[in-house]
Chain A
């Protein structure tokens, strides 16, 4: 009786493993395909949508790795916030216009390709070195669940980095608003360099007069 239970249990485990392998390879190929489209295509809109799809597929790896919280953050922050920001940003650009992308220095290309090859070798060799790494400082508690566990560490050991990240996001937001919203009423691209200079000089003088 016990033997049969054990066997059933093993089968369940094997089934889960099977599912994990299938999911891993499915999402791996999907992610790689989507990101290749992002890198290779000339159409900015295709690149944007492929990038958004790739981000969602990446969140599946986080779920597979029992990092539920990060999976949700990945979907909400990347596909929700970052992609929307890019979509808004793209409205400012003439993204249909093709940009000539020609490499006119073959020697540089060779050098860079060689460096990539070297980096790949190092990165493939790194796991072998990584086997000997010691176990961690903040162990996972399976009985808590991932979100609670992360909250526990985040608001005790990583509280100050968390606050700094909050301030950094605020600074970035204000900086983005100021940079993008600067002189929305005039278009610098329709003026020549001399006109811009004259305009900025006038602006400076008027601000001095106000003082």
Chain B
């Protein structure tokens, strides 16, 4: 297995996440798509770390996991607050300005 296969896999998964972010209107699904993108980046970082014999990639992947965990905690809190106000988690319901 070479580095390229892992990077291509990472690209494909990242694109799936990107399609999700662009296509969905459900805010919960947007969070899921963000998780997918973060994981795709992790695969790429760890693959490079292995093929260059360097630990920095794994360090960054580790910190990305920590950031993702805190993002979920704050994001879900905000989402619950939004749901209490608007009674929906549709992305368009946040829109308050007409333009």
Contact = CB atoms under 8 A, between A and B. Distances in A.
Interface residues of A, number: 83
B44 to A, nearest CB: 9
Contact of A189 (B5, B33, B83): B83
Given A61-B43, A161-B63, A188-B84, A44 B16 contact: no
A175 B77 contact: yes
B50 A165 contact: no
A120 B19 CA distance: 12
A6 interface: no
A106 to B, nearest CB: 13
Nearest to B59: A158
Interface string B5-32: 1111101111111111011111011011
Contacts of B81: 179-180, 182
A97 B31 CA distance: 18
A188 to B, nearest CB: 4
A139 to B, nearest CB: 6
Given A54-B36, A139-B53, A139-B54, A86 B76 contact: yes
A31 B13 contact: yes
Contacts of B28: 44, 47, 86, 89-90, 93, 95
Interface of A: 17, 20-21, 24, 28, 31-32, 35-36, 38-39, 44, 47-48, 51, 54-55, 58, 61-62, 64-67, 69-70, 73-74, 77-78, 81-82, 85-86, 89-90, 92-93, 95, 97, 99-101, 103, 112, 116, 119-120, 123-124, 126-127, 130, 133, 135-140, 149-150, 153-154, 158, 161, 165, 168-169, 171-173, 175-180, 182, 187-189, 196
